[in-house]
Amino acid sequence: MRRTADRPTVITDAETSPAEQLRRRQRRYVAMMSIRGGCLIVGAVLVTLEAPLLWVWLPLCAVGMILVPWLAVLLANDRPPKDKHLLARRRRPSARTPTALGANPVASPAGPVIDMEP
């Protein structure tokens, strides 16, 4: 059985760049705020024309104008989730770390020790 560290990295497994993530979130935000603007315009037109069943359409437009901006901000600030295997690797100490080997990391010197004999 091969360990995951021995396997080559596949480009399809690569995470999208932060710039691409930001661009996607910006597009989603603009699209959702456009929907909000559409709800506002449709509501104004319906009131002006005194459309039938206005009592049904106006609350729907109002919900769109109130709920959509809130969701747009939440989704614009949301980043994609991190991979589970990366989080698990960070939590577990490696077999090669001093704490895993039983060494006391506080007692180890900060730098190389040079012994000088007179």
| pLDDT of amino acid 18 | 86
- Cβ–Cβ < 8 Å for 33, 40: no
Q: What's the pLDDT tens digit per position in 22-74?
A: 999 999 999 999 999 999 999 999 999 988 998 999 999 999 999 999 999 99
Q: Report d(CA 13, CA 4) in Å as an integer.
A: 13
Q: What is the pLDDT of residue 85?
A: 61
28 vs 90: which has the higher pLDDT: 28
Mean pLDDT of 74-92: 70
Evaluate if pTM is beyond 0.85.
no
Q: Is the pLDDT of residue 116 over 70?
A: no
CA–CA separation, 73 and 30 (whole Å)? 10
Domain ranges of the chain: 15-101
List Cβ neighbours of 94 (8 Å cut-off, separation of 6 or more).
100
Alpha helices (H) in the chain, listed in sequence order: 18-49, 54-76, 84-91, 98-101
Distance CA 37, CA 16 (A): 30
